[in-house]
Structure formats: C-alpha cells, structure tokens
C-alpha cells in the first residue's frame, strides 16, 4: 500500500495529537482565584487543589489575581489559553457583571465544570456590638437614617451584597438601606469589621471563623432554611421570621475551547479529587458543603440563581 505525502503528514499529526493527549498534563496546572487570600473562594480552592494535584499527578498551584471586584481574575481565567493548564474557581459574580455594566462577562464566558461548594451567607458583627440577635440588629438599622449602617464582603453588586439586599427587603426595608462598602473579598472586609470600620459583614461565617474563634466578631444569623450541623448555635433568618435564604457557590471553570480529551481528563480528575475523604472532611470541618454536579444539574441551578439575584439588583438600583 502506498501513501501520498499529504496522507503521511496527516497520520503523523494524528499520532502527535494522540501522544500529546496521552501525556497531558505533563507540566504544572494553575488555578486562578479572583479574590483575596484567606477568603471563602481561596479556602475552597486550596482544599480542592490538594486533592486535584494528587489525582492529576502534576503540581497544582493556586494564584490569587484580585482587582475590579473580581473582574481581573475572572477575565484572566476566561481568556487564558484553552490548553487545560490554566483553570479557575469562579464565584457567583460572573452571573451579574454584565447586568451591572462593569464587564462583558456572563456564565456563558466560561467552560463551567461543576460547583465545588455551597457556602451560606450570614450576618456577622463586631464582638462588642450591642445587638444580641438579628431582630435587634435589623431594628437598629430601621431606626437609623438610611446609610448610617455599613456592610461589606465583596464588590458592589457582588454575591454578599445581594445577600444583604435580599435580607433587608425580606425585613420590609429598602434593599439599599445599609450602605455597601466594596472590598476585594471576605478577608479584608472582616479585618475592617474587627477594626470598627464596618457595621456588618454579610458573607459566610466560614470566612469569619478565625476572628470568631478569637472573640473579635460574632455571627448572629445565617441566611439558611435551617441550622447546618457545622453551625448549630447560630440562628437562621427564618427563625427571625424572614423569608430569605442565600448560599454562595464556587465553581471549577476554564476558558472555552479546551480540547475534549483534555477536558475529560480534567473533569474526571476533579470529580475524583472532590470524592477524596480528606477533601470532603476538610471542607465540612470549615462549614463548607462540598458539591460535585451531575451533567446538566449546574446549568439548571444557575438559571434560578440568576433570576433571584437579578431581582435584588433591580431593588438595589444597580441593574443596567
């Protein structure tokens, strides 16, 4: 049998492609975190990365790229070379950047693999604040002039901002009655809270855990339907008579266009990593609910999440 030069070249390319697929990954993989070190996204990512590295068999580094209320890091991960060596952990802000008019980023800008975790929003105040529970805190907010109380945890229009706005609406107040102070994540916002620069942090008590244990702050409510096993002593907003729940999610993502064979290897390794006992236990010990979605499950969840969040953004006067 004789082969033309074109056929031989095609066969050689196919063989090279196959060899490349078999070898992938043959160098370190990086995971971009668009928020500051020490926050919720960072914590989840570093726990996951430990298991992911073991499953991939190459070093996995976590790189924090902060700025622009998460826009800098999310842009970097969505526009990276689609070779499978740069991934990221996306936060819910990707669902609202375009509506906010801050960046041309949506959930469609990424190849979304699956959620890695669910983290409940809460209300955390300074340890010596005079409010013993959520009812007293909200009563004080209602009695004070609009904007007298401040809160933070993420950028303007970010997930924890939506959590705060929805809680206030459920309490019969304007969604923007508390003045939002944008930050680059939970960790810097909590430091501001502990120093007395904020009235409240509406992110997760998971992010506040070191300061909670140090007695510098108190979490007075969770925005969940029931008390989770990890925080059995913290009351829920529902117990205060408020019909509002909010949980943040963080998802493994990458740029669109990763070759299917490489994506499959990454997906399967990530799925195995999330199932590792040490990954599960490390997340649960911090009050984080680990998640790995079945095909189609995340897409359905995101649609409902976007609808609820978009309504609050309109109430905040932020939707463009």
CA dihedral (173, 178, 179, 183) positive or negative: negative
* Whether the Cβ atoms of residue 86 and residue 32 lie closer than 8 Å to each other: yes
Distances in Å between the Cα of 261 and the Cα atoms of 97, 174, 184, 268, 299 are: 31, 50, 35, 11, 22
Helices (H), 182-289: 186-194, 205-213, 260-275, 277-285
CB atoms within 10 A of CB 32: 25
DSSP state of 294: P
Alpha carbon of residue 48 to chain centroid? 13
Residue 10's pLDDT band (cuts 50, 70, 90): very low
Could you report the per-residue pLDDT of 256-271, keeping only the tens digit for each?
Answer: 999 999 999 999 999 9
Residue 229's pLDDT band (cuts 50, 70, 90): confident
Note the pLDDT of residue 9.
44
Could you report the per-residue pLDDT of 32-74, keeping only the tens digit for each?
Answer: 999 989 888 999 999 999 999 999 999 999 999 999 989 999 9
For the domain spanning 122-245, the CATH number is 3.40.190.10
What whole-number percentage of the chain has pLDDT above 70? 93
How many Cα neighbours within 13 Å face the side chain of 172? 8
Report DSSP letters for 61-82, one per residue.
Answer: EEEE---GGGHHHHHHHHHS-S
Alpha carbon of residue 228 to chain centroid? 19
- In the chain, residues under CATH classification 3.40.190.10 are 122-245
Q: In terms of Cα–Cα distance, which of 193, 194, 172, 168 is closest to 181?
A: 193
- In the chain, residues under CATH classification 3.40.190.150 are 5-119+249-311
H or E stretch including 97? helix 97-100
Pairing between strand 29-33 and 217-222?
unpaired
12 burial class (0-12, 13-18, 19+ CB within 10 angstroms)?
exposed
CATH architecture of 5-119+249-311: 3-Layer(aba) Sandwich (3.40)
Could you report the per-residue pLDDT of 129-143, keeping only the tens digit for each?
Answer: 999 999 999 999 999
More reliable by pLDDT, 312 or 185: 312
* Whether the Cβ atoms of residue 42 and residue 62 lie closer than 8 Å to each other: yes
């Amino acid at each position: 049998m004789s082969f033309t030069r074109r056929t031989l070249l095609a066969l050689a390319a196919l063989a090279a492609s196959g060899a490349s697929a078999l070898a992938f990954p043959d160098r370190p993989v990086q995971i971009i975190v668009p928020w500051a070190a020490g926050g919720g996204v960072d914590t989840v990512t570093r726990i996951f990365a430990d298991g992911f590295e073991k499953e991939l068999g190459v070093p996995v580094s976590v790189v924090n790229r902060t700025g622009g209320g998460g826009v800098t890091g999310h842009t970097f991960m969505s526009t990276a070379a689609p070779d499978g060596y740069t991934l990221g952990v996306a936060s819910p802000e990707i669902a609202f950047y375009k509506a906010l008019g801050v960046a041309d980023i949506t959930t469609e800008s990424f190849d979304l693999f699956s959620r890695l975790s669910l983290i409940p929003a809460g209300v955390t105040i300074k340890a010596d604040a005079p409010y013993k529970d959520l009812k007293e805190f909200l009563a004080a907010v209602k009695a004070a002039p609009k904007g007298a109380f401040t809160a933070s945890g993420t950028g303007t229009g970010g997930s924890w901002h939506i959590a705060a706005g929805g809680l206030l609406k459920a309490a019969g107040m304007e969604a923007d009655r508390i003045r939002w102070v944008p930050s680059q994540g939970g960790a810097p916002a909590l430091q501001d809270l502990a120093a007395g620069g904020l009235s409240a942090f509406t992110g997760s008590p998971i992010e506040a855990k070191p300061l909670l244990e140090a007695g510098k702050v108190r979490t007075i409510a969770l925005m969940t339907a029931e008390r989770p096993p990890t925080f059995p002593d913290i009351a829920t907003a529902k117990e205060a008579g408020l019909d509002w729940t909010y949980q943040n999610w963080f998802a493994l993502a990458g740029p669109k266009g990763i070759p299917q064979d490489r994506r499959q290897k990454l997906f399967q390794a990530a799925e195995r990593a999330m199932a590792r006992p040490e990954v599960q236990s490390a997340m649960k010990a911090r009050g984080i609910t680990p998640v790995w979605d079945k095909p189609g499950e995340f897409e359905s969840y995101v649609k409902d999440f976007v609808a609820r969040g978009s309504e609050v953004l309109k109430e905040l006067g932020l939707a463009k």
